[in-house]
Amino acid sequence: MATIKDVAAAAGVSVATVSRVVNNGPKVSAKNRKLVKQVMLDLGYRPNANARALVTQTNRTLGLVFSELTDPFFATLAGGVEKIARSNNIQLLISNGLVSAETERRAIETLLEQRCESMVVHSKALSEQALIDYAEAVPGLVLINRYIPAIAHRCVWLDNQAGGDAAARYLLSMGHRNIACITSNYDIEDPRLRLNGIQQALQQQGLPLNEQAIASAEPNEIGGEQAAQNLLARGLNYTALIVYNDAMASGVISVLCDNGYRVPEDVSVVGFDDVLLSRYLRPKLTTMRYPIEMMAMEAAEMALKLANQQPVAALHKYLPTLVKRDSVAPPKT
């Protein structure tokens, strides 16, 4: 591929002049500008971003580390980040963190090697200290969906416990007393916090949430099917189910229907996330809205600002809100 030298030689000018026209520099004669532009076109010249990054010490790149492109929830997250990157003319570099601490670390390291000045990181497995260290090393790093007090202003997160609480309260207010949970079997804090919230709401009514009433599996459609089957196998006598996310909920409803249970007449179901899917399930899914796109956009904007030494607000906490649709009804009496 043609370099700036090739262009300079072919145009009979110095590399400095070429560089000036490339960067719309001020001091270059109209004649030369036109000439150089033509030569660039002829030679198919494109400035080498690597060389440029080397000397300018900045590469207009936003790194995103997260786990699963294919999951609608994460896709929405990535979409939000991408929007901000694009509107700021910033390249998007994606690094997959899967779920393990080791891969998450590698994902961040890779981004570090690329010297991308801003990053939004979705990390569940890395320790708080590790993340704090990274945040210190990279001014433009912001955490999404995780709250670490020591670096609170670098975190954009959702109050999961409040979400669990709100879901449970809603069901209670509808008259449900036999409530079961289907949760994620990932060893991260989100499911624990949501469960805490649920438990708290139930306890306030003097209702326990015992082990028997909790089934866990992978947080996707298949997992939802499995967990629902397990619950069924134990003899289902609950009137309502709080499910970890909408993907699982779709699997749950599917199994419920296949086994002759009507939703919501026999069993009510509440999801979490409000992924697009939930509007097209039948019945339409009642769920806790997780404003992930907005959060992702804010995280990306923060990352860009921080990398530019601009200040950001101190608190970026979001609350899930209840979206009432058709999957909840009062229990049969």
Partner whose footprint covers residue 128, from a copy of itself, DNA, none (CB < 5 to 8 Å by kind): none
Partner whose footprint covers residue 93, from a copy of itself, DNA, none (CB < 5 to 8 Å by kind): a copy of itself
How many residues make up the chain in this entry?
333
Helix segments in 118-220, DSSP class H: 128-137, 160-173, 189-204
Q: How far is the CB of 35 from DNA (least distance, A)?
A: 9
Separate counts of helices (H) and strands (E) for the chain: 12, 12
Which residues, numbered 114-153, are part of the site for a copy of itself (CB under 8 A)? 114-115, 137
H or E element, residue 215: strand 214-217
Helix segments in the chain, DSSP class H: 4-11, 15-22, 30-43, 49-56, 72-87, 101-113, 128-137, 160-173, 189-204, 221-233, 246-258, 292-307
Partner whose footprint covers residue 294, from DNA, a copy of itself, none (CB < 5 to 8 Å by kind): none
Q: How far is the CB of 91 from DNA (least distance, A)?
A: 15
Cα–Cα dist 258/278, whole Å: 19
Give, in order, the Cα–Cα distances in Å from 252 to each of 134, 169, 212, 242, 292: 39, 21, 17, 10, 23
Q: How far is the CB of 137 from a copy of itself (least distance, A)?
A: 6
Cα–Cα dist 331/328, whole Å: 9
Among 54, 294, 315, 319, binds a copy of itself (CB under 8 A): 54
Among 11, 17, 65, 82, binds a copy of itself (CB under 8 A): 82
Cα–Cα dist 333/329, whole Å: 12
Stretch that binds a copy of itself, among 28-36, 47-55, 151-159, 209-217 (CB under 8 A): 47-55
Which residues, numbered 172-201, are part of the site for a copy of itself (CB under 8 A)? none
Structure tokens at 108: 């961040």
Q: How far is the CB of 71 from a copy of itself (least distance, A)?
A: 8
Residue ranges in contact with DNA by CB under 7 A: 3-5, 12-17, 19-20, 22-23, 26-29, 31-32, 45-48, 51-52, 54-57
Residue type present at position 216: S
Residue 19 or 321 having the CB closest to DNA: 19
Contact 243, 252 (CB under 8 A): yes
Examine residue 113 and tell whether it contacts a copy of itself (CB under 8 A).
yes
- Contacting residues toward a copy of itself, per CB under 8 A: 1, 44, 46-51, 53-54, 59, 68-70, 72, 75-76, 78-79, 82, 86, 91-96, 109-110, 112-115, 137, 221, 250-251, 253-254, 257, 276-277, 279-282
